[in-house]
Amino acid sequence: MKPDVILAGAGLANGLIALALTEARPDARILMLDRAAGPSQTHTWSFHDPDLSAAWHRRLAPAIRCRWQGQDVRFPDHARTLRTGYASLDSARLARQLADAPGICLRWNAEITGLDAQGVTLGAERIGAACVIDGRGAASSRHLATGYQKFVGIELETSAPHGVMRPMIMDATVPQMDGYRFVYLLPFSPTRLLIEDTRYSDGACLNEEAVARDITQYARQKGWSGHEARRERGVLPIALAHDAEAFWAESRDGPVPVGMRAGLFHPVTGYSLPIAAQVADVVAAAGPTTPEAFEAVRSYALARADEDRFLRLLSRMLFRGAAPAERYRVISRFYRLPEPLIERFYAGRLTRMDRMRIIIGKPPIPVRDALSCLREAPLLKDRS
Ligand SMILES: Cc1cc2nc3c(=O)[nH]c(=O)nc-3n(C[C@H](O)[C@H](O)[C@H](O)COP(=O)(O)OP(=O)(O)OC[C@H]3O[C@@H](n4cnc5c(N)ncnc54)[C@H](O)[C@@H]3O)c2cc1C
């Protein structure tokens, strides 16, 4: 049966689009294609409660692995517990939810060799559809200059209760190396703990075994032992400069790019779940053809890119204005700000007043260095 919508890639962005589409257009036939053999075991997607609308909290409930009330951060000069709730989905649960949803056909082992606005090619097979959406994951673009957030996460089944009660969003009391370094902890059960070692670095190279050794050392210092149950890794882009107009002009007449591929992620954290939920709503509300969905997502993305100018400035201050070993100071200072502002930062909804509060007062980096970060155009010129 010919599908109405083809979702190229069955990752986070297209997963959320499929969920939104089945609700908005229950009669639509949705075909999801992914090259992987099945759902990845190497992905947990986390978010802060205020990142998502009530509708998305409801929609994603079946895919949630764990929810927590509150979260901690720790820096060399202060520590803080925040009240904001936090939650994690995992890719296996999301894939099960998609497979059970009416109207969605999810095909694994489906390597897409070509795609355009009218359909996809899988080797010798051609499948056409009125709407084709490209969510095949991150791709570099000359219209986006980035730094990197690199991490390795080891999920440990501890031999005794680990005692961590809430997510530790950042433990930056660890030795600083390869840029801003912190450890992130998610306690999935009293004896199950994800320990993730993250670095905000200039280069994309990730030495997984060396980072894994640093995690083992951190665990030893905390008195945790046990066996490794699962591992995840990532090198996420952090947006320093973006020319969204040029990006979307180049993609015109093709399928609709979404997710990391379309630069639709938080410029400072590299996380994409909250934006992916908003884009899914945009696609679900758009007309049923590729050009209509393209125009709707493009308008959203241009407005988002404009709104995110300030966040990209913060990324530049972090990467270009602060020496790698001093980057933690910028984040530490940020975490002294009021909690509602921190929530709006993660959700990508900073107000004008929030921006002023982040910038004014004792500057986190010398004024001269901050001034040199103001313009994004020079970073893009280097790439053309
Ligand atoms: C380990 C890890 C943890 C992360 N944790 C978080 C988090 O907690 N919160 C958050 O908001 N963000 C998180 N991120 C960042 C970001 O949200 C994710 O990278 C997210 O998965 C991006 O969604 P996406 O749909 O753009 O790409 P993906 O989820 O990567 O999906 C792309 C899909 O396309 C498929 N594909 C690629 N090429 C082809 C092809 N030729 N044919 C067929 N299929 C193809 C891939 O197999 C993949 O399944 C994390 C990233 C990583 C790597």
With pLDDT > 70 as the criterion, what percentage of the chain qualifies?
A: 98
| Among 19, 31, 35, residue to substitute to test ligand 1 (most atoms within 8 Å of Cβ) | 35
Nearest C-alpha neighbor of 10 from the set 111, 102, 82: 111
Average pLDDT of the segment spanning 333-346: 96
Q: Which ligand 1 atom is the nearest neighbour of the CA of 274?
A: 11
pLDDT at 363 over 80: no
Task: Report the nearest atom of ligand 1 relative to the CA of 12.
Answer: 25
For residue 354, the model assigns a pLDDT of: 96
Percent of the chain residues topping a pLDDT of 90: 86
> What are all long-range contacts of 108-113, with beta carbons under 8 Å and residues at least 24 apart?
108/10, 108/34, 108/36, 108/37, 108/38, 109/35, 109/36, 109/37, 110/33, 110/34, 110/35, 111/35, 112/8, 112/9, 112/33, 112/35, 112/136
Query: How many angstroms is it from 133 CA to the middle of ligand 1?
Result: 15
Backbone angles phi, psi at 81, to 5 degrees: -110, 125
* 36 ligand 1 Cβ < 6 A: yes
Task: Report which of residues 384 and 198 the model is more confident about.
Answer: 198
Residue 271 near ligand 1, beta carbon < 6 Å:
yes
CA of 161 to the centre of ligand 1 (A): 31
Q: Is the CB of 234 under 6 A from ligand 1?
A: yes
Is residue 61 over pLDDT 70? yes
- Distance between Cα 103 and ligand 1 center (Å): 23
Among 260, 279, 346, say which to mutate for ligand 1: greatest number of ligand atoms within 8 Å of CB.
260
In short, whether 9's Cβ falls inside 6 Å of ligand 1 is yes
Q: What is the mean pLDDT of the chain?
A: 94
Asked which of 38-42, 73-77, 93-97, 259-263 is least confident by mean pLDDT, the reply is 38-42
Q: Whose CA is nearest to atom 15 of ligand 1?
A: 271
Average pLDDT of the segment spanning 94-101 = 95
Is the Cβ–Cβ distance between 178 and 199 less than 8 Å? yes
Contact by Cβ (8 Å): 335, 182: no
> Ligand 1: which residue has its CA nearest to atom 5?
45
Q: Which atom of ligand 1 is nearest to the CA of 136?
A: 34
Burial letters for 72-100: b for 16+ Cβ neighbours within 10 Å, e otherwise? Answer: bbbbeeeeeebebbbbbbbbbbbbebbee
Question: Please, are residues 246 and 381 in contact by the beta-carbon 8 Å criterion?
Answer: no
> What digits encode the pLDDT tens for the residues 317-339?
888 888 888 889 889 999 999 99
pLDDT at site 384: 59
- Locate 175 and state its tokens: 């030795």
* Higher-pLDDT residue of 362, 183: 183
Concatenate the DSSP letters of all residues of 233-279 into one string: EEEEEEEEEE-HHHHHHHHTTS-EE-GGGGT-S-TTT---HHHHHHH
- Give the residue whose CA is nearest to atom 31 of ligand 1: 11
The amino acid that residue 348 corresponds to is G
Query: 266 CB under 6 A from ligand 1?
Result: no
Position 70 scores a pLDDT of: 98
Question: What's the average model confidence in pLDDT over 202-226?
Answer: 97
Question: Residues 316-326, buried b or exposed e (16+ Cβ, 10 A)?
Answer: bbbbbbbebee
Is residue 207 very low, low, confident or very high in pLDDT (cuts 50, 70, 90)? very high
What value does the mean pLDDT take over residues 168-185? 96
Cα 328 to Cα 54, 296, 331: the distances in Å are: 33, 38, 5
Say what the pLDDT of residue 212 is: 98
- Binding site membership of 136 for ligand 1 (Cβ less than 6 Å): yes
310, pLDDT greater than 70? yes
**What are the E-state strand segments in the chain?**
5-8, 30-33, 44-48, 64-68, 71-74, 79-82, 86-90, 104-107, 114-116, 119-122, 125-128, 131-134, 144-158, 168-171, 180-189, 192-201, 226-242, 256-257
- Cα-to-chain-centroid distance, residue 203: 18
Residue 369: what pLDDT?
74
- Contact criterion met (CB below 8 Å) for 233 and 206: yes
Rg (CA), the chain: 21
The predicted structure's pLDDT at residue 19 = 97
Is 70 exceeded by the pLDDT of residue 311? Answer: yes
The answer to whether the beta carbons of residues 156 and 191 sit under 8 Å apart is no
Q: Could you tell me the domains of the chain?
A: 5-65+88-142+240-307 (3.50.50.60), 145-238 (3.30.9.10), 309-381 (no CATH)
Residue 361 pLDDT > 90:
no
Query: What pLDDT digit, counting tens, does each position of 113-166 carry?
Result: 999 999 999 999 999 999 999 999 999 899 999 999 999 999 999 999 999 999
Q: pLDDT tens digits, residue range 32-45?
A: 999 999 988 888 89
271 vs 149: CA distance, rounded Å: 10
- CB 111 less than 6 A from any atom of ligand 1: yes
Structure tokens at 59: 């929609």
What is d(CA 288, CA 5) in angstroms, rounded to the nearest whole number? 8
d(CA 239, CA 265): 8
Check if 10 has its Cβ closer than 6 Å to any atom of ligand 1. Answer: yes
Task: For a ligand 1 pocket test, name from 111, 115, 136, 185 the mutation site with the most ligand atoms within 8 angstroms of its C-beta.
Answer: 136
- Closest C-alpha to 261, from 133, 364, 140: 140
pLDDT digits (tens, 9 = 90+) for 216-245: 999 999 999 999 999 999 999 999 999 999
pLDDT for 374: 81
Q: In whole angstroms, what is the distance from residue 156 CA to residue 141 CA?
A: 36
Name which residue sits closest to atom 49 of ligand 1, judged by CA. Answer: 11
